[in-house]
Structure 1
Amino acid sequence: MNGPTPRLEIFADRIHDNARAIVHQCADHGIQVAAVTKVLHAHPALLRALDDTGITMLADSRLQNLRRIAETGTSLPTLLLRAPGRHDIDAAVQLADISLNSSLITMTALSDAAVRAGTRHGVIIMVDVGDLREGVWPDHLVEVVSAAAKLPGIDVRGVGTNLACYGGVQPSAENMTRLVQLRDLAREATGLELGLISGGNSANLPLMMSGDMPSEINNLRIGEAIILGRNTLDRSPWPGTRQDTIDVVSEIIELERKPSTPLGRTGEDAFGQHVTFTDRGVRLRAICNLGRQDVNPSDLTPIDPGHIVLGASSDHLIVDVTDSASPVEIGTEVRFRPTYAGLLATATSSAVWKEAATPHRL
C-alpha cells in the first residue's frame, strides 16, 4: 500500500541501472565514481539502489546523512563534501574517511581530532579554477598542501575542484588541465603522491565522453546524473540512463470548474509577486495538497501531458486537469517529475513522505 500524500516515490531499480551505466562510462575513461547522496538525504532506498554498482565512495555534504550511511554498515569509504564547521570537527572524523577542504585552520582542527581518536583523516584539498565557490586560489595551493602534509592526523590524498555550481563555469579541457598542472606542482614541491584528482561533478561527464578530459583526472562526484539521469549542463537526458526515477505524488483535495483569470482588482500575491494569467476560459481546476513550502511549482512537470501546473500558494498546488488523460475526482493522485531543485526541496520537506516505489510500479 502506498504511503500518505504528498510523497516522494524513489524507483530504486531504475537508479541502480543509472548508477551502473555511469560507472561503466567513467571506467572506460579511467575514472572512479563517488556517488553523491545529498539530494535524497541518503535515503535507505537510494543506498540500496547504489549497492553493487561499482561506485567506490559514498559522498554527502551533511553529517546527519553520513551518519545514516554509517548505520548501514557499508564498507565503502565515505566522503564529506562540505568542510565541517568548528562544532562538527569530531563528528567529521568519526563519520567521514575523507573530506574536501581548503582551510588550514579546519585541517588543523581535523588533525587534532584524528589524533585524539587514534586515527588519520584523509583530505582532498580543493582548488578554485574559476567557479568561485570553495577552494584555495591556485597560487596558494603549494603552500597549503605543504602545511597540511605536516599535520600528524592528516593524509593529503589529492586535489579537487568544483564547477558548474555557484558560478556556472563549465568544465573544460583548459580548467581540467590547469588542475592537473597544479597537482603536479604540489607533488614536485612536497614529494607527496597526491594520487587522487577529483575533477568535479555530473557536469564533467560531457567533457569526459568527448575524450577531452585529461587522463590524470581519476575521480568524479556524481549525484544528479545517477539519480535523475540528466546532463546537468542543459538538463537533457544523459545517454544510457532513465529519467523516470522519482515521482512527486500529490492528492486532489478540491475539484471545481472556475474561470482561468481572477475576478477583481489584483495586487501582489502571498510571495510579493505580481502574477500574470492566461485566459483559457472556464477550466476544471484541481487543488492538490502540496505547496511552495514543499516545492516551487515551476520545478514540477506533470506526468499526465493533459495536466498544467498553474501555480501554488504555501500549501495549495493548482493544476488545470481539463484535458486529463484519465478521469479525476477528489482523492485522485496526481504525479509529477521534479527538477533537481524540486527534488532537493521535496526531499527536504518534513511534510513530504518518502518511500521506495511499490513493486508494481518498477
Structure 2
Amino acid sequence: MYPRLNIYLKRYQENLEKMIHVCDLYQVSLVPVTKVFCADQHLIDIINQSSVDMIGDSRIQNLKTMKTHKRKMLLRLPMLSEVSEVISWADVSLNSEWDVLVKLNEEAKKQNKVHDIILMIDLGDLREGIYYQAIDEHFIRDIMRLDHLRWLGIGTNLTCYGGVIPTKDVYQKLNDVLSLCEKISGHKMMVVSGGNSSSVDLLMKGELPSYVNELRIGEAIILGRETAHGTPILGFFDDVMTLEVELIELKTKPSKPEGDIGMDAFGEIHHFEDRGPILRALAGIGRQDISIDHLIPPQGVQILGASSDHLVLEILVGHYHVGDILTFKLTYGGILSLMTSHYVEKHYVR
C-alpha cells in the first residue's frame, strides 16, 4: 500500500550508537527524543537495547504507551489538567510555572512518590522557561520547600522558536543562573540540560561548556544533522526514514492553468509562469498527510504543488509510468507529519 513510510531500523540504531559514543566522549548524558516518530515501539525497542538511561517525549500519551525500562522525561511543560498523569507516567518533567510545581508536589504526595524536576531557563529564544534575568532567590527557596519534588537542576531550549544558536556567550547566561541556584539552594545541581540537536555542533567540536552534562536529542539521530546550521553529521545516515509514493497520472499538459485564477482549496492564490507544455505527474499523497515544504524530491523531479490528496509534480529527467514508485527524503517536520497520519503505511526495514 502507498503512500509508504520506510523506517530503516538498523540505520536508526547506528545513528543512535554513534551519538551515544560522542556524548560519552564528552561526559554528556544523552536523552533520545522520540516525539518525531510518535514513540513508535519498534524504535523504542532499539533505545531499550542501548546504554542510555532516559527517554524524552513531549506527549504524556507517548510516555504512557511506550514499553520501556528506561526512565521517562516529559519534555513539554506539564498542563495543570494532566498533573496526575505526569506523576504516574513521567519520572522527570521540565517546568517553569510555580502553580504547576505546587500541583505536581501535591499529586506526588498523593501517589506516594518523589517526582524529579528540571527548572527551565529562557536564554532569549523566547519559548519556555523563566527568563534568565527574572529568576530570584525567593523562587529558588520556594522550590526547595516542595518536599515531594526532587530538583535535579536547570535546563534550556534553543533554536526551536526564536532560532537562537547555542554559543559560549548564550550558555554563559545559563552558567550565571546555575551559580545563583547553587548559591541560594546550597546544593550542587546534578543536571544542566543544555538543549537539543542545535547543540550538537558545539558538542562535536569539543566546545560545549563543561557544566552542560545533558542534551535532549531527536533530529540529529533521526536525520543525521545538527540543527543550528543544518549541517550533516559525518558518518550519520540522513535517510533513516524515506517516503514512497505511487504515480497515479502522467500526462503532458500546459504549465499555466487556463481561465481566471482565484483561491485554491486552502484559500491561497498562486501565480503561474507560462513555460509551455510540461510533463506533469500526480502522486497519491497530499497536504492532509504532509506539507510539500518537507519533501525532498528525487533528482529530475520538481514539486509544483499539492491539494489535500494529490501531489503535483513535473518530470524533468527520466522515464516513468503510471504505477511507478518515487522515493522522497524528508525533513524533521515531514517525518512528524507522516508518522502522525494513519493514511500512510509504516514499513519497517530491518
> What band does the TM-score fall into relative to the shorter chain?
over 0.9
Secondary structure at the aligned position of 1:20 is classed as helix
CA distance in 2, matches of 1:175, 1:25: 22
The residue that corresponds to 1:348 in the other structure is: 340
Q: Is the 8 A contact 1:201 1:221 kept in 2?
A: yes
CA RMSD of aligned residues (A): 1.7
- Which of 207, 211, 228 matches 2:223? 228
Secondary structure at the aligned position of 2:192 is classed as strand
The residue that corresponds to 2:70 in the other structure is: 76
The residue that corresponds to 1:96 in the other structure is: 90
Count of matched residue pairs: 349
Residues 1:39 and 1:242: Cα distance change in structure 2 (over 3 Å): same
CA distance in 1, matches of 2:342, 2:143: 40
- Which of 2, 19, 23 matches 1:5? 2
Q: Is the 8 A contact 1:39 1:344 kept in 2?
A: yes
How far does the alpha carbon of each residue in 1:53-74 deviate from its partner, in whole angstroms, 9 at most, with x for none? Answer: 33231000001111122xx2x2
Judge which range, 145-154 or 101-110, deviates more.
Answer: 145-154
The residue that corresponds to 1:332 in the other structure is: 324
- Which of 200, 205, 209 matches 2:204? 209
Secondary structure at the aligned position of 1:114 is classed as helix
CA distance in 2, matches of 1:120, 1:92: 12
Residues 1:38 and 1:313: Cα distance change in structure 2 (over 3 Å): same
How far does the alpha carbon of each residue in 1:130-170 deviate from its partner, in whole angstroms, 9 at most, with x for none? Answer: 11111112232543332122112100000000110111111
Secondary structure at the aligned position of 2:135 is classed as helix
CA distance in 2, matches of 1:14, 1:126: 32
Structure 1 residue 280 displacement after superposition: 4.3
CA distance in 1, matches of 2:28, 2:107: 31
Secondary structure at the aligned position of 2:181 is classed as helix
Secondary structure at the aligned position of 2:159 is classed as coil
- Which of 182, 185, 193 matches 1:190? 185
State yes or no: 1:111 paired with 2:105. yes
- Normalised to the residue count of structure 2, the TM-score between the two structures is 0.95
Judge which range, 14-23 or 229-238, deviates more.
Answer: 229-238
Q: Is the 8 A contact 1:12 1:48 kept in 2?
A: no
The residue that corresponds to 2:57 in the other structure is: 60
How do residues 165-176 of structure 1 correspond to structure 2 at under 5 angstroms?
A: 165-176=160-171
The residue that corresponds to 1:159 in the other structure is: 154
CA distance in 1, matches of 2:237, 2:138: 44
CA distance in 2, matches of 1:342, 1:141: 41
Q: Which amino acid aligns with 1:75?
A: H
- Which of 11, 19, 29 matches 1:14? 11
The residue that corresponds to 1:307 in the other structure is: 301
- Normalised to the residue count of structure 1, the TM-score between the two structures is 0.92
- Which of 43, 47, 50 matches 2:44? 47
Secondary structure at the aligned position of 1:310 is classed as strand
Q: Is the 8 A contact 2:36 2:339 kept in 1?
A: yes
Q: Is the 8 A contact 2:166 2:228 kept in 1?
A: no
Structure 1 runs (4+) greater than 6 angstroms displaced: none
Structure 1 residue 311 displacement after superposition: 0.8
Q: Which amino acid aligns with 1:345?
A: S
Structure 1 residue 209 displacement after superposition: 2.5
% identical equivalent positions: 38
Structure 1 residue 272 displacement after superposition: 2.7
Residues 1:142 and 1:53: Cα distance change in structure 2 (over 3 Å): farther
Q: Is the 8 A contact 1:257 1:284 kept in 2?
A: yes
Residues 1:23 and 1:279: Cα distance change in structure 2 (over 3 Å): farther
Structure 1 residue 180 displacement after superposition: 2.1
| Alignment gaps of 5+ in structure 2 | none
Judge which range, 239-248 or 93-102, deviates more.
Answer: 239-248
Residues 1:211 and 1:280: Cα distance change in structure 2 (over 3 Å): same
Residues 1:339 and 1:20: Cα distance change in structure 2 (over 3 Å): same
